[in-house]
Structure 1
Amino acid sequence: MNKKEQIIRRYFDSWITGEVSVLSETFSENAVYIESYGPLYRGLDNIIKWFENWNEHGSVLEWKIFQFIHNDKTVICEWFFKCVYDNKEEEFNGISVISFDSENKITLLKEYQSKLPNYEPYR
């Protein structure tokens, strides 16, 4: 497993453990994070604020990585996510496009979501 994959795995695990200190080790000060359904967090301080606020309402039950695809300073990560938020359980598949700087800090993370269950409308 390479360094970028280790960083991503540690970050995903921080959502399960609630370990906020991982964010300062993972993201650059000017990082941008775009969630799969639209919210954008600009800067490490806002990413930390979002993490803390989210964890007051919910908990991540599982964030499983299926594969990594590498391209220079960008990694694409395919995953499954399951959580409880405001007493409602939710799960979906997703992809993150994650860009790193020369110090292996995340500068941009964009998520894309595929709702579950998938269905075949023409079947």
Structure 2
Amino acid sequence: MATQLHTYIDAWRRHDVGAVLTTLTDDCVVIESYGPVYRGRRRVEQWMYAWFAAGGRVDAWDITTIAAAGDFMMAEWSFACTWRGQAAGFEGSTIARLHGDHISYLREYATTAPLYDWTGTWSNQE
């Protein structure tokens, strides 16, 4: 189920640019959770090489839920990286669409604060 999404995420974990690119269509659109849009496989390649060269490192990207229906795939995950010496992490999700056997559209969403169980009263976090 959702093999292409597994392959895409696993390739990022391994820092394998070529393997990421093989999951994408030539005219793919990849949208990161904080705003950048990468149009086309060449732009994704440029972004990945620039990100790794600037000190980016994927430390973990663990899928917690994954599903597929027709040409659509979704995954929830936890992500950890190091960016220019600073460790960071968050939970998020991906929605992707296939064209044939390749990802043509991939959009990521990220949590903006730590998750917590609401107890019925308002706190300073809310």
TM-score (norm 1): 0.89
Write the distance in 2 (CA, Å) between the matches of 1:24 and 1:82. 21
- Are the counterparts in 2 of residues 15 and 59 from structure 1 also a CA contact under 8 Å? no
Write the distance in 1 (CA, Å) between the matches of 2:122 and 2:34. 26
Report the alpha carbon displacement of residue 116 of structure 1 after superposing the two structures with TM: 4.5
Decide which moves more: 91-100 or 7-16.
7-16
Instruction: Name the residue aligned to 1:50.
Output: 47
Bigger Rg, structure 1 or 2: 2
TM-score (norm 2): 0.87
Q: What is the one-letter code of the residue matched to 1:70?
A: A
Decide which moves more: 112-121 or 30-39.
112-121
Name the SS for the 2:115 alignment partner: coil
Decide which moves more: 11-20 or 82-91.
11-20
Instruction: Name the residue aligned to 1:20.
Output: 17
Write the distance in 2 (CA, Å) between the matches of 1:86 and 1:80. 20
Query: Whose helix fraction is larger, Structure 1's or Structure 2's?
Result: 1
Q: Deviations for 1:56-86, whole angstroms, at most 9, x for unmatched residues?
A: 2211110000111222101111100000001
Kindly report structure 1 stretches of 4+ aligned residues shifted beyond 2 Å: 115-121
- % same residue: 28
- Are the counterparts in 1 of residues 32 and 107 from structure 2 also a CA contact under 8 Å? yes
**Unaligned 5+ runs, structure 2:** none
2:36 to 39, 49, 67: 39
Count, aligned residues: 119
Instruction: Name the residue aligned to 1:73.
Output: 71
2:90 to 75, 92, 115: 92
Q: Deviations for 1:74-103, whole angstroms, at most 9, x for unmatched residues?
A: 11111000000011111100010000012x
